[in-house]
Amino acid sequence: MKKMIKVVAAVIENDQKEVLCALRSHDMSIPNMWEFPGGKVEKGENLQEALEREIHEEMKCDIKAGGVIYDHTHEYDSFIINLIALNAKIISGTPVVTEHAKLIWLPKENLDSLVWAPADIPAVETLIKQTERAHQ
CB neighbourhood size of 46 (10 A): 11
What CATH number did the domain enclosing 65 receive? 3.90.79.10
Spell 81-108 as b/e; 16+ CB within 10 A means b: bebbbbbbebeeeebeeeebeebeeeeb
The Cα 60–Cα 76 span in angstroms is 29
Between 133 and 64, the higher pLDDT residue: 64
Instruction: Give the predicted TM-score (pTM) of the model.
Output: 0.92
pLDDT tens digits along 16-35: 989 999 999 999 888 999 99
- Given a contact cutoff of 8 angstroms between Cβ atoms, the answer to whether 10 and 21 are in contact is no
pLDDT at 89 over 90: yes
In sequence order, what are the residues at sequence separation of 6 or more whose Cβ sits closer than 8 angstroms to the Cβ of residue 77?
none
For 94, the domain range is: 3-134
Query: How many domains is the chain built from?
Result: 1
Which H or E run includes 124? helix 121-134
Mean pLDDT (whole number) for 81-94:
96
